[in-house]
Amino acid sequence: MRLALLSVLLLGVACSSDKPSEPGGPDAGVGADAGTGGDAGPGDDDAGTGDAGCEPLAPGPGTVLLSGLNTPRRLAADATDLYISESHSLNPQQPQPGPGRLLRLPRGGGEAVPVATGFRAPDAIAVGAESLYVLDLDGLWRVDKATGVKDERPLDATLNNVTIGGTEVLPASVGGRDVLVIATAHRRLVRVDAGGGNRRELFSGTGDAQVRGARVVGQDVWFLVAAGESPGLYSVPLDGSAPATLRDGSITAGTSLEVTPTHFLVTEGGGGNGRVLRLPREGGEAEVVASGLQGPAFPVELKGTLYFKDVSTGGTDFLRRVSTCTAGAVEPVGPEGVGPGGLLVDGDTLLYTSQESGTGGVVGRVP
């Protein structure tokens, strides 16, 4: 099925004030090329980091870029293209290969085309200079960016618990080597070479622990551990030179993590008890910026406003916002849909997926 580009105007405004003080800086993970030699894209400096000022985006449904998708999940981008993982199912029964695929949408306009197919339930993706990295039920795959050819075997076949969400693939560099840090949605935080091999577990939890959400900040990886014996917000050296350290044990059901120049943004919980938290990076108590949520995910900050997604059964409320500059209630931004899919900041624009199945899934932007 050919996917028509209904409308596209992807802004790429980079704000130098967003860049963190640490060497290497907070890495938004979605679309980030840092450490893999990729071209600068929207994920390199601005995704999730926000910028100065308190001028929220106007509410409204925004513009649909792609429609007719079957369970679109995560987004990544480089300087020329936007990439989308389309899962088709979150409970696939078929063996490899499956119907899941990776789509490419040119940022300058044009049709979306399949880059690679045969995935079972692709989730988190990352972009390098020559390769795309896709986390699927059968492991972490490398795809040639130019040809769309997948490696014959996954880079790591153990990284395969992706259907519950909260996974990440983060490009980084250790000792001059390009590496990938993977939040598995299972007990482990893992680092592997971008070309395969040198697997290292940076964290291994116990029982039903789940590593859901991670960000590279300088030479450390910050990540969430949900459930298990010691849930919370952790950090660990990227090179694995020291054990992981529990930084905040009050976050027991974390689902997504983002980093701004001044704060950690965390979503946790669900079923009417979900919350969005804002924690100062220099230490201090967490601020609850939203509560009473069904299943919040993917918090980002832009122009003094925090945006996030929540599970919805309809209505213009799966993408929401709340000001970080002034006190106020959570407001719906739109569009209609169940979400939560993925969310990516691109300059002054929010890009999103709405994760409906069948032919109801869309990719769009606000405004």
313 lies in a domain?
A: yes
Q: Label the pairing between strands 245-248 and 232-237.
A: antiparallel
Give me the torsion for CA of 1, 136, 179, 268, rounded to 10°: 110
Can you give the CATH number for the domain in which 40 is found? 2.120.10.30
Q: Is residue 20 part of a domain?
A: no
- The two tokens of residue 24 are 């290497």
pLDDT recorded at residue 331: 87
Does residue 11 form part of some domain?
A: no
Residue 10 lies in a domain: no
Q: Average per-residue pLDDT in the chain? A: 83
d(CA 19, CA 356): 34
**Structure confidence by residue, pLDDT tens digits, 90-117:** 766 666 677 899 999 998 788 999 999 9
Q: Is residue 5 part of a domain?
A: no
Residue 19 counted as domain residue: no
Q: Is residue 16, in this structure, part of any structural domain at all? A: no
Tell which wins on pLDDT, 22 or 135: 135
Neighbours of 329 (CB within 10 A): 7
Number of structural domains, the chain?
1
pLDDT class of 21 with cuts at 50, 70, 90: very low
- Window from 34-43, 70-79, 169-178, 236-245 with minimum mean pLDDT: 34-43
Is the pLDDT confidence value at 207 over 50?
yes
Per-residue confidence (pLDDT) for residue 42, from 0 to 100 = 44
Beta strands in 227-342 (DSSP E): 232-237, 245-248, 254-259, 263-268, 274-280, 287-293, 297-302, 305-309, 319-323, 331-332
318 lies in which domain range? 25-366
For residue 103, what are its two tokens? 């789509």
Q: Which of 171-175, 295-299, 346-350 shows the lowest mean pLDDT across its residues?
A: 346-350
**Residue whose structure tokens are 């949605």:** 185
> How much is the average pLDDT of 191-200?
95
For residue 151, the 8-state DSSP code is P
C-alpha dist (Å) from residue 177 to 36, 44, 198, 238: 9, 18, 11, 12
Which residues are registered as beta bridge partners of 203? 189
- Flag whether 277 is in a domain: yes
Cβ-based neighbour number of residue 270 at 10 Å: 17
Q: What is the largest CA-CA distance in the chain?
A: 53
Q: How far is CA 303 from CA 27, 188, 345, in A?
A: 18, 34, 11
User: In Å, how far from its chain's centre is CA 59?
Assistant: 22
Structure tokens, 272: 């009417």
CB 102 within 8 A of CB 115: yes
Report the C-alpha gap between 291 and 250 in whole angstroms.
15
Distance CA 37, CA 142 (A): 15
* Distance linking the first and last C-alpha atoms of the chain: 27
Coil, strand or helix: which one is 344? strand
Tell me how crowded residue 358 is: count the other CB atoms within 10 A of its CB: 10
Please report how many Cα atoms fall inside a 13 Å half-sphere around the Cα of residue 257, on the Cβ side: 32
CB 302 within 8 A of CB 51: yes
pLDDT tens string 37-69? 444 444 333 344 544 567 777 777 788 999 999
Structure tokens belonging to residue 23: 């060497």
